[in-house]
Amino acid sequence: MNAPSSLTGQVVVGRYRIVRQLGRGGMGAVYEAIQLSMNRPVAMKLIHPTLAEDEELVARFHREMQVTSSIVHPNTVSVLDFGATETGQLFLVMELLDGRSLAAVLRDEGALPLRRIVHIGKQVLRALAAAHHEGIVHRDLKPENVMLQDRFDERDAVKVLDFGIARVLEPGANAPAMTMEGTLLGTPGYMSPEQATGKPVGPASDLYSFGVLLYQMATGGLPYSGTTIQELLVKQVTEPPRPPSAIAPGKVAPQLEALILALLQKDPAARPSSAAAVQTRLEACLDPAPVPGLDPSFPAGPGGGTVILDGHTPTVNLPSASGGPAPTGTAVVAPQPSTRPKQSVATGPGRPSSATGPGRPGSVTGPSTGPKPAPHDDLEDEPAPSESDAAPAPVPARPRGGSPWPLVAGGVVVLLVAGGATLGWMTWTRQKQRAAAAAEARAKLDALLAASGEPAAPEVCRARAAEEVVPLLAAMPALAPADGAAPGDGALAALAELETVAAARPEAPEVWTLVARGRLYAKEDTAGALEAARTAARLCPNSAAAQHLRALAARDRGELEEAKASFQRAAAADASWAAPPKALGLLLLKERDFRGASAALGQALQRRPEDLGARLGRAQARFLSGDLEGAREDAQEATRASADRAEGWLLLGHVLAREKRFEEALTAFCEAKRRGSAEAAKLCTSD
């Protein structure tokens, strides 16, 4: 289907040219587009214009997409960009996938064989585990949101789509339910009982939806059906599912059935504890021997509730623990508080909840995977006021008989007594001195950052308190020397001091960024560096430095998809910094993605034209992709910029030889030989 003529060929937000429409849904339309800066195809979702009229929804969209973009995993679709168009319409840019949805596969093929179910299911679980680690619940897992691709030699490579989209449509705390009439926060056939009744949802809700997904792959059908949405939701809440073996006799392995029924428990606490635990049990289904302790029969959970239909919104009375009816609850549109960690304007989402990470006793690696803090997602939820935000104390009536008189100066209440200042005056003086010291340290820290070539953190993420700024200033010379030299002997001590600060102030993104740098360069601790950089990037997603360090650590750990996505985020976060696109281009060159490498290295050269490494890298990418003219131009520019280096001459010789300009190629090879190239010495035959 082609895009409407009004959009075909249009350039949106100056970065994306619309090619064609791929589909349309309740939230808007999806288009194939070209990202102009990298000349690559992407998928662009334009949200329905009417939704942009709701200011709360727009704010929630930006919050959710910022957090969702932090999920970096091979089995999740990469969110590359989001924002609003020139006309205010919300948009979301993702990688363009070539494949079929699981919904299409099930529609065309019906029930799937066990080995294929396990192969697809474990990839979905890995995606859920990555999201749950970031504090994100999908809320709308269904076959339409599972894309299957055949990549290289792998069949059914999974990408899970639309994390965070269901949260965007959720009504805020002050929004009346009627404003969301006709909108379900999820797909009824896959909704957990707690989601259907408007209760808070967590990772266990996604695992229930995954259980429905397994049920459908094993039997070709869903565990519940109904003629109306209300009937379907009531069954989800009150009725035990029919065993899969009753739907497909002799075709469902007992261990798989046991796992499905465990996932479909009504009580979230009765389901498996995590996506990783489910993956272990799912893989065990391929073992013909029974697993001890797995019983295919499970209690049905709560049932026998009385259904009351109130207008268009079903409500369900469930039995209470005492045996009497529980309070009636809304089944569809009741607000569902998120299980994500609190988010604030200053630090971003996902604050660490533990000072000690896995595998490093006594050190700080980032947030734990334990319980998340209480939800704080709606705009109406204000954070607890700080001392500076608190209402001023009332001024008492003028005292008699020489008692202290309150003097209000510059917003600070100072008590004066005869003979000098009281403790209040001294406290005020100390605070002024501390603020001045912190400001001076901040200025010096910014100067060191500028000298190192690393961009400063965004304004909302910058450390201001002396407890953060002073340790950063002390550690910078050892962990991030301006001349780029390797850290000296004091680096380990500086890192230890900084890790102590991180343990005491786990919400400070600049501290975590420098911890990541220290672990990466001072100790070569790539695992710890990656955890610290992930934490910094969660706290401040728009920090180019944090994203770049995350990419470097991920690359060194072999997590190449995460590395590429983080390099892209770093490049987008700071449009003048050449290091991220250069590193991305060299990584793509190594992976033989010559077109992508050429585009990324070209972006680096736009930012820093004198970068010889980027110039030679793009020349090589162009040469290997067959763009001989472009490769020759880059190689010639490299010889002009650094005539005493052999690399440019050697590459120029290869390009000229490919163009059959043999005499010029011979001259270039001999120039490279004179500059010490052993390879060129074999090719220069005129000396």
Tell me the CATH number at 117: 1.10.510.10
The answer to whether residue 459 is domain-embedded is: no
Which residues contact residue 469 at a Cβ distance below 8 angstroms, ignoring those fewer than 6 apart? 438, 441, 442, 445, 463
**Options 81, 140, 377, 574, the catalytic residue:** 140
Verify that 141 and 210 share a domain, yes or no.
yes
Where is mean pLDDT largest: 25-29, 213-217, 291-295?
A: 213-217
- Mean per-residue pLDDT, 498-525: 82
In terms of pLDDT, which residue wins out, 629 or 416?
629
Report the run of H or E that residue 301 belongs to, with start and end. Answer: none
DSSP per position, 472-501: HHHHHHHHS-TT-PPP-THHHHHHHHHHHH
59 and 190 both lie in a single domain: no
What one-letter code names the amino acid at 502?
A
Token pair for residue 43?
A: 């998928």
- Is 156 in the same domain as 169? yes
If pLDDT is split at 50, 70 and 90, which confidence band does 637 have? very high
Residue 589 belongs to a domain: yes
**Alpha carbon separation from 40 to 29, 93, 592 (Å, rounded):** 20, 12, 16
Q: Which helix (H) or strand (E) holds 346?
A: none
Tell me the range of 131-135, 172-176, 323-327, 620-624 where mean pLDDT is highest.
620-624
C-alpha 367/C-alpha 409 separation (Å) is 43
Percent of the chain with pLDDT over 70: 71
Residues 104, 61 share a domain: no
pLDDT in tens, 79-110: 888 888 888 888 889 888 888 999 999 999 99
Q: Percent of the chain, pLDDT > 90?
A: 31
Q: C-alpha dihedral over 592, 595, 600, 604, to 10 degrees?
A: 100
Residues 223 and 313 in one domain: yes
For residue 67, which of 320, 347, 462 has the smallest C-alpha distance? 347
Asked if 87 and 119 sit in the same domain, the reply is no
What is the model's pLDDT at position 491?
A: 76
pLDDT digits (tens, 9 = 90+) for 225-265: 877 888 888 888 888 998 999 888 888 999 999 999 999 99
The predicted pLDDT at position 534 comes to: 92
CATH number of the domain residue 83 falls in: 3.30.200.20
Domain count, the chain: 3
Report yes or no on 238 lying in a domain.
Answer: yes
Q: Domain ends where: 95, 130, 158?
A: 95
**Between β-strands 154-160 and 100-101, what pairing exists: parallel, antiparallel or unpaired?**
unpaired
Q: Which two tokens stand for residue 426?
A: 């001294």
pLDDT value of position 388: 37
Is residue 606 in some structural domain?
Answer: yes
82 and 110 inside one domain: no
Give the domain CATH number at 649.
Answer: 1.25.40.10
Band the pLDDT of 474: cuts 50, 70, 90.
confident
- Give residue 578's identity as a one-letter amino acid code: A
In a domain, 354, yes or no: no
Which pLDDT score, from 0 to 100, does residue 256 have?
95
Instruction: Identify whether 336 is part of a domain.
Output: no
The answer on 662 and 591 residing in a single domain is: yes
Do residues 212 and 78 share a domain?
Answer: no
Torsions phi, psi for 435 (to 5 deg): -65, -40
- Name residue 380's amino acid: E
Please report the pLDDT score of residue 431 as a whole number.
Answer: 67
Identify whether 680 is part of a domain. yes
- The amino acid sitting at 199 is K
The distance of Cα 373 from the centroid of its chain, to the nearest Å, equals 19
Kindly state whether residues 76 and 211 are assigned to the same domain.
no
Cβ neighbors of 519 (< 8 A, separation 6 or more) are 495, 525, 526, 528, 529, 532
Is residue 16 domain-resident?
yes
| Average pLDDT over the chain, rounded to an integer | 75
The identity of residue 404, as a single letter, is P
| Domain termination residue (choose one: 39, 61, 95) | 95
DSSP secondary structure code for residue 331 in this structure = S
Q: Which residues pair with 414 in a beta bridge?
A: 407
For residue 633, give its domain range.
Answer: 578-687
The answer to whether residues 507 and 318 touch, using CB atoms and an 8 Å cutoff, is no
Does the active-site annotation cover 140?
yes
Q: Binning pLDDT at 50, 70 and 90, where does residue 170 land?
A: low
**Last residue within a domain, chosen from 95, 126, 147:** 95
CA 203, distance to chain mean position in Å, is 17
**Predicted confidence (pLDDT) per residue in 541-589, tens digit:** 888 999 999 999 999 888 999 999 999 999 988 888 999 999 999 999 9
| pLDDT per position as a tens digit, 362-387 | 333 344 334 333 333 332 333 333 33
Give 292-322 pLDDT, tens digit per residue: 433 333 333 333 332 222 233 333 333 333 3
- Is residue 62 located within the same domain as residue 148? no
Is there a single domain that holds both residue 75 and residue 123?
Answer: no
